[in-house]
Every structure is written in C-alpha cells, then in structure tokens.
C-alpha cells in the first residue's frame, strides 16, 4: 500500500512516549508522501527531551521537496520551548499534507494544546506510536496510561495506533512481532485500530499475515558515532 492510502487524513500528528521512534517515523512518512507526489510540510515540535530531531535531516527533507518547519532553524542542537509561527501554514493551507512530530510525553505534548481548536477544524488524525522495547510503555496498561495522559493534555482524541517497535540497528522481525502483540493488546483495551506496523525494508519478508498493513521505513536518524 502507498503511504497516502494508509495515512488518508491531511494532517498526521505523531505522539507517544519518548524513545518510541516518532522522529524516524515522521521523517519516513514525510519522504514517502513527497515521493508519491504530495506537497508535504513536516513540523518538528519535539522540544522536550528529544533524542533525535527531524531538523537534523533538513537537507535530506528539502532535497525531497519536504518543507521543514522547526522551532529553531539556526541552532540545531538547541531545544527552544516555542512553536514556530510557520506552523499555522500547515494548519491553514489545505493543499499540503502536514506531518507533526510532537513531544514524547504529556509535558512534550502540551505545546500542541495551543492549537487544539484549529486542529479540531481540520482533517486531522492523532496517532499514538508504540515501541514495545521501551520499558516505560512495554505493557498495555502503561501504554494506555501514557496515551490517556497525552489525550487529556492536548484535548485531542487519538485516532489509531502505530507499531514502531525497534532496537535501532539491531531490530529483528521478532521485535516487530512482539510489538504487534502489544499494539493488539492496546487496541483491545482502547478500541482504537492498529493503523500500520513500521519495519525496515530488510525485514519485510519475515513479516506476513498481519492484520494491519506494513509501512516500510529506511533508517535516516543516525547516532553521532554511526
């Protein structure tokens, strides 16, 4: 399936506990939509405890035709607790597809609450990204608790779940299948559908018969020593 066929809403907001791989997922989603001919804007709103920042891949994104909006374009290594004014462009220009990479916990998601009235007026989905290898959210109970706290903070209701279980470069198909089990458990607990399972392209052949589509990704966010 194409990215546009999986992610059908105009604006996709990605949230979840920090370390779940939201930024990698956001970069891959933006690049995939652009490759399919969509006008895409990626807003880097992750300003609380970010490990990776999508603005670190500004050159890659812009070369693919993705417009990057970040709190600080000049200081890539600085966390600026403010939202860029250009974010309104994503919300108001209905000819573009917007991808919003938000903070990884209720504190990080608080900035999004400022735009809650506008987001409710748009064709928007809030996706909760899961990584079964994160100790803080590796059970359905803790994952649901984090989800509900984010919803309460933002005033937005989650639309669906994304299984993005990984161990960086050591990820195996077994890790992703473990994430499938967690995503399905959270789905049963919340009634939310599992939208997709993210997996590196090298792992796709070992992942068959899943109820939700696979979303192929390429690792772009590298550690400084890689």
First-residue to last-residue Cα distance in the chain: 31
pLDDT tens, residue by residue, 169-196: 899 999 999 999 999 999 999 999 999 9
> Which residue blocks in 155-213 are alpha helix, DSSP H?
173-190
pTM confidence score: 0.90
Residues 6+ apart with CB under 8 A from 198: 21, 25, 28, 162, 163, 164, 166, 214, 215, 217
State the average pLDDT over residues 19-23: 89
pLDDT tens, residue by residue, 81-104: 455 677 888 999 999 999 999 876
């Amino acid at each position: 399936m194409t990215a546009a066929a999986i992610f059908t809403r105009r604006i996709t907001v990605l949230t979840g506990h920090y370390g779940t791989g939201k930024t990698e997922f956001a970069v891959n989603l933006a690049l995939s939509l652009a490759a399919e001919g969509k006008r895409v804007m990626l807003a880097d709103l992750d300003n609380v405890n970010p490990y990776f920042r999508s603005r670190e891949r500004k050159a890659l994104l812009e070369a693919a035709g993705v417009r990057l909006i970040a709190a600080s374009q000049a200081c890539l290594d600085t966390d600026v607790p403010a939202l860029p004014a250009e974010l309104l462009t994503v919300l108001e220009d209905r000819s573009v597809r917007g991808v919003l990479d938000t903070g990884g916990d209720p504190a990080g998601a608080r900035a999004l609450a400022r735009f809650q009235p506008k987001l409710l007026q748009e064709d928007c989905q809030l996706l909760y990204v899961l990584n079964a290898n994160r100790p803080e959210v590796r059970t359905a109970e803790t994952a649901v608790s984090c989800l509900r706290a984010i919803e309460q903070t933002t005033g937005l209701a989650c639309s669906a779940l994304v299984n993005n279980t990984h161990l960086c470069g050591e990820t195996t198909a077994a890790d992703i299948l473990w994430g499938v089990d967690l995503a399905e458990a959270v789905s049963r607990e919340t009634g939310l559908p599992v939208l997709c399972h993210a997996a590196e392209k090298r792992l796709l052949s070992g992942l068959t018969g899943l109820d939700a589509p696979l979303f192929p990704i390429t690792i772009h966010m590298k550690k400084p020593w890689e």
